Amino acid sequence: MLNIDDGSGEDELIRLLLKRQSELNSLLEITRAINKNTATPILIQMLEVILQNYLQVGKLRFLIEKDNKFACIAKYGGDIESSVVLSRACKKLSKVKAPIAISGHQDPILKKYNYFIPVYHKSKALAYALIGDFNTSGEMLNNDLNFIQTLMNVIIVALENKKLFRERLQSERFQREMELAVEVQNMLIPMRVHKDDSVEIGAKYLPHQNIGGDYFDFIRLNEHEFLWCIADVSGKGISAALLMANFQASLHAWAAVEGDLTNIIDRLNKIVLSNTKGERFITLFLARYNQKNRRLNYINAGHNPTILYSEGGAIPLKLGTTMIGVFEELPFLNEGEVDVEPGSLIFNYTDGLMDFESPSSKVWNEDKLLDFVLAHGELSPDNFNQALMDYLTNVHKSKPIDDITLLTLKIF
């Protein structure tokens, strides 16, 4: 009798040791796969193979938490239920923190399985597993259930690390994209403003968050004419900056060979539409000034109206068309024309100037801006721009919530 018992005990010990060895080998295989950054579907397949072949688990449902919902990522054996049905059933055991037998549970879904295995981190449920057709009993049962729980914990940690790694890469890509966008935009913004006997220009560019969609330019066409533009492209980032770079190149190319502003705007509209397929648009104010006849021709394409201050009066320049990059053919296109007297000030700006956040009850709108131009139109361009920003900061106590570009010209 003693010899038989000793033999049986030795056989049981050997079987236990072999089983533990298999478990360690399984964990080692999973760990190696994780270290090699093996794809998630392969990790899940390895989990299923281990449970089926090493532990003889005939049925598995493995659910993990994702965006406050549970999705079934591993399943085999029996009739496959939906993730919603499985999640609803498992939530009935939400207070259970350790593996338990559920074959006698009253829930019709749960009672189809032998055991429920939860995986928690502190008080947060990370995963649930339902296993069925699993006949291990006695001393091996607790060992097997604990091993399954450990195995699933390893998988969950690996998946979470993959998620964090992807998020970090995405954050780094976004940061690099912003850096590239800033580099591109810095190449677009004129390094110095223009000043000669006929015109003085002052510009102020205030991006709200490193990179914006604002753009301005000044082009001396010939001895007697110059052209300028202020624009705002929808969206942010490198794609917006590249679109603006393409817009600048197109503007310079067509301004050099085309004397009609309506034709330039029409060409620019087609170019932007072709590049963006209607997914982005640009608002802009484009003007040409002739020093000989003192005539200003302009087109406002859906942009904030430029303000012309002359001899104590101020008028908004609104004639033009809609934004470009939306319609294959612009629905209307009108060119404005106005004579400019010596000493006139022309103030251009983007919509960020009107999007100030003010804690005071003072109203800031286009009428108030017009009043400001009337009161300060005799200033030089740089002094005018600075006075306007000081007024908004100190008088209105306002803070910008978008990019701001100011482009001010004094015509002599």
User: Cβ distance 128 to 90 under 8 Å?
Assistant: yes
Rg of the Cα trace of the chain? 35
Check: pTM over 0.75? Answer yes or no. no
User: What integer pLDDT is reported at residue 140 of this predicted model?
Assistant: 74
Among the listed residues 402, 401, 376, 403, the one whose alpha carbon sits nearest the alpha carbon of residue 390? 376
* Residue pLDDT, tens place only, 223-252: 999 999 999 988 777 777 778 888 988 999
Whether residue 151 is predicted with pLDDT greater than 90 in this model: the reply is: no
In order of 117, 248, 275, 324, the CA distances from 211 in angstroms are 50, 17, 21, 21
Q: Which fold has domain 189-411?
A: Phosphatase 2c; domain 1 (3.60.40)
pLDDT of residue 3: 46
Higher pLDDT, 120 or 286: 286
The token pair that represents 208 in the structure block: 């709200």
Tens digit of each residue's pLDDT (9 = 90 or more) over 65-116: 888 889 999 999 999 999 999 999 999 998 899 999 999 999 999 999 999 9
Mean pLDDT of the chain: 86
**Which one is predicted more confidently, 110 or 392?**
110
Angle at 108 between CA 106 and CA 112, to 5 degrees: 100
Distance of CA 34 to the CA centre of its chain: 29
Mean pLDDT for the stretch of residues 120-130: 90
Arithmetic mean of pLDDT, 32-43: 84
Burial class of residue 87, CB neighbours in 10 A (0-12, 13-18, 19+): middle
CA angle (103, 105, 110) in 5-degree steps: 70
Model pLDDT, residue 1:
40
Q: Give the burial string for 153-187 (b: 16+ CB within 10 Å, else e).
A: ebbbebbeebeeeeeeeeeeeeeebbeebbebbee
Which residue do the tokens 């998988």 mark? 155
Dihedrals φ, ψ of 46, to 5°?
Answer: -65, -40
Q: Which amino acid is at 43?
A: L
Hunting for tokens 């000989």 — which residue is that? 292
pLDDT at site 4: 43
The residue that leads in pLDDT, 91 or 359, is 91
Name the β-bridge partners of 229.
217, 286
pLDDT at 179: 67
* 117 close to 148: Cβ distance less than 8 angstroms: yes
Partner residues linked to 61 by β-bridges: 75, 130
Q: Mean per-residue pLDDT for 356-368? A: 77
Say which amino acid occupies 385. N
Question: Residue type at 205?
Answer: Y
Quick one: what percent of the chain has pLDDT higher than 90?
A: 52
Q: Where in the chain is the domain with CATH 3.30.450.40?
A: 2-166
Planar angle of CA 206, 173, 126, nearest 5 degrees: 120
Parts of the chain belonging to CATH 3.60.40.10: 189-411
The greatest distance separating any two alpha carbons of the chain, rounded to the nearest whole angstrom, comes to: 124
pLDDT computed for residue 361 by the predictor: 65
pLDDT at 2: 41
Q: Looking at domain 2-166, which of 3.90.226.10, 3.30.450.40, 3.40.1080.20, 3.40.50.720 is its CATH number? A: 3.30.450.40
197 burial type by CB count under 10 A (0-12 exposed, 13-18 middle, 19+ buried): exposed
CA–CA separation, 369 vs 389, rounded Å? 12
CB 64 within 8 Å of CB 127? yes
Surface-to-core class of residue 69, CB atoms within 10 Å of its CB (0-12 exposed, 13-18 middle, 19+ buried): exposed
